[in-house]
Amino acid sequence: MKTKIAVFVSGGGTNLQALIDAEKRGEIPSGKIELVLASNDTAYALTRAADNGIPSVVVKRKDFDSQIAYEEAVKAILAERGIEMIVLAGFMSILSENFTSAYPKRIVNVHPSLIPSFCGKGFYGLHVHEAALAYGVKVTGATVHYVNEIPDGGEIILQKAVEIQEGDTPEVLQKRVMEQAEWILLPKAVEMVAAKLQKERG
């Protein structure tokens, strides 16, 4: 039995695509993407899911009175589908300890820097690359880590360095970090965790 995976998305879904492609190439033998959960109904990631025959659902935080109510609704959807593992792939909604503690070492996130640099609250998307360039670091990269209640604070699973080049803009750097690090690391880390969960299940 493969580990059932849900991928949480908010935007274009490039990391989701990297996972779908890796799964098709047989690089995630221990897991299967069973669900794509989006925080908004305009996320292009939903089109990617549909194109690949993956069921999807939209759950918007603003449709709920409280964070807890929102998270309980998400939990119910995951339970109904038997989801065992969650991948945050550009997911812009913050999850509280109420949610993360229900899935210990079962939620992974990819962050576009070498944690502990340029991470935590406010560091997402292009902001991360703007900060790296502003600081003048020579090397950046990506990190896949477990998710806990601290933004970008969970245990690191994998990291990969990417060199910053003369004349880089945040956009150019973002693309290089995705191609050279995120899209390579994320499928690897997902397989590692999926295999571990599969083994634990017996």
* Catalytic residue annotation: 111
Confirm if 85 and 193 have CB atoms less than 8 A apart. yes
Q: Which two tokens stand for residue 174?
A: 């973002």
CA 1 to CA 67: how far, in whole Å? Answer: 33
Q: Across the beta sheet with 31-38, what order do the strands follow?
A: 56-58, 31-38, 3-9, 85-88, 107-111, 139-146, 156-163
Residue 169 · residue 175 · CB < 8 Å: no
Given a contact cutoff of 8 angstroms between Cβ atoms, the answer to whether 156 and 131 are in contact is no
Q: What is the rounded distance in angstroms from the CA atom of residue 49 to the CA atom of residue 55?
A: 7
What single-letter amino acid sits at 71? E
